[in-house]
Amino acid sequence: MSPSTSQALAIGLLSGAAMTVLATGLFSYWRPETKPEEPKHEEEMQSDIVDGVAGLIGNTPLMKIKSLSEATGCLILGKAEFLNPGGSSKDRVALNMIKTAEESGILKPHTGSTVFEGTVGSTGISIAMIARAKGYKAWIVMPDDQAVEKYQLLEKLGATVEKVRPCSIIDKKQFVNLARERASKFGEGEATGYFADQFENEANFQAHYTFTGPEIYRQTAGKIDALVLGAGTGGTLSGITCFLKEHVKNMKVFLADPQGSGLYNKVKYNVMYAPTEQEGNRRRHQVDTVVEGIGINRLTQNFDRGRRYIDDAFRVTDEEAIKMSRYLVREDGLFVGSSSAVNCVAAVRAAKQLGPGHIIVTLLNDSGQRHLTKFWSDEYLKAQDIYTELTPEETVLDFVK
């Protein structure tokens, strides 16, 4: 390359660079200044943003319980109610009872009004959470023999917790009766006391008839052969059953009942009696079981609403429930509470009765996290002479007969 050619190339490169800088500067000068995008207003935001804690309740997933389905040849589905923000299906009930009281003018937020309830734990936790979110206080009366973590959760949520000895519903000091009495004597000015009364309150039934039942119907596309559920207040069983029976006429309904509860005998023989209720036979709780949340020895209005639809009942022992809970962890990584374990035992029984190829739905009411000191405590269970170790070779068909 000649010197003149090299000189010309250098001049060309320098000229091009200068023009690029000049053009960039002019573009920057003439370009209108852009402002940061304004934040969106609430109405412009995505529709799946929910309104507070209450908006998190419901629409829980329906999961295939793989180990139970494979063992029985049926599709056994568990509705994951433990994913509600308060950790259980009782969130639905608590929310609807409080909303109903507001709509009827009984409760007004931020007036010092208090929601009273007698409960073994889960409903109280849900009430405490929702009451706090809506501007109320909560006063929870509980038997003093429940898992410790339930009392701890209630206290952390700001509820007043009153522990009483377990006794029959005919006793004025029974936890439900005491909650009713406390509510009736509470009130000053605008502050009122509201007794939620989950056992008899129709809002309990309506929460499941209006929401849980339709969710299950939608999730299964109406293809359900059997519903299997335990009952405490009876609102969950009756609400879901009454809705589904309107749409799935041939669906079977099975009650899952822990030992010592009278509901099994009421369904099977129309007699509310359990042998463990005989004088001197009761060992632990009112219904003589380590299972918490289901089982009762009286008929509630909520249970009676759907009782005519129950086709059969299964008695589930503590040993079966305990083994089922350990089995679900071992096989599925599923950590459930005591009532959920009872439901799963009964679901396997229903599958064996119906035979392979059927679709069976149950509820996973809560997780094992609020049952650590009782149902999930080996030390506690051994002290009750009911601990049964699940051997590595044992399958669900070995311990569910």
Percent of the chain with pLDDT over 70: 85
Strand 359-364, strand 252-258: pairing: unpaired
The 3-state secondary structure of 363-377, one letter per residue: EECEEHHHCCCCCCC
- Residue pair 176/168 in contact (Cβ under 8 Å)? The answer is no
Q: Which one from 64, 66, 79, 90 is the annotated catalytic residue?
A: 90
Q: Can you state the angle between helices 318-332 and 338-354, rounded to 10 degrees? A: 90
- Residue pair 374/290 in contact (Cβ under 8 Å)? The answer is yes
Percent of the chain with pLDDT over 90: 77
DSSP E strand stretches across 207-251: 226-229
Looking at residue 387, what is its pLDDT? 83
- Residue pair 212/89 in contact (Cβ under 8 Å)? The answer is yes
Mean pLDDT, rounded, of the chain: 89
Q: What mean pLDDT is predicted for residues 167-179?
A: 91
Local structure of residue 221 (DSSP, 8 states): T
Residues with Cβ within 8 Å of 208's Cβ and at least 6 positions away in sequence, in order, are 92, 93, 235, 236, 238, 239, 240, 243
pLDDT interval class at 5 (50, 70, 90):
low
Burial class (CB in 10 A: 0-12, 13-18, 19+), 331: middle
- Whether residue 193 has pLDDT greater than 60: yes
- Of 36-45, 133-142, 151-160, which range is least confident? 36-45
User: In angstroms, rounded to a whole number, what is the distance separating the alpha carbons of residues 298 and 311?
Assistant: 19
Q: What mean pLDDT is predicted for residues 195-212?
A: 97
Q: What mean pLDDT is predicted for residues 345-355?
A: 98
Identity of the amino acid at 59: N
- Residue pair 346/362 in contact (Cβ under 8 Å)? The answer is yes
Q: Rg for the chain (alpha carbons), in Å? A: 29
- Residue pair 159/124 in contact (Cβ under 8 Å)? The answer is yes
User: In angstroms, rounded to a whole number, what is the distance separating the alpha carbons of residues 241 and 207?
Assistant: 12
pLDDT: which is higher, 116 or 277:
116
Identity of the amino acid at 342: V
Is 382 catalytic? The answer is no
Q: For residue range 77-118, what is the model confidence (pLDDT) as tens digits?
A: 999 999 999 999 999 999 999 999 999 999 999 999 999 999
User: In angstroms, rounded to a whole number, what is the distance separating the alpha carbons of residues 60 and 352?
Assistant: 27
pLDDT interval class at 26 (50, 70, 90):
very low
Looking at residue 279, what is its pLDDT? 40
Looking at residue 284, what is its pLDDT? 43
Q: What mean pLDDT is predicted for residues 50-76?
A: 97
Strand 312-316, strand 252-258: pairing: parallel
- Whether residue 276 has pLDDT greater than 60: no
3-state helix, strand, coil in the chain (%, to 5): 45, 15, 40
Looking at residue 48, what is its pLDDT? 81
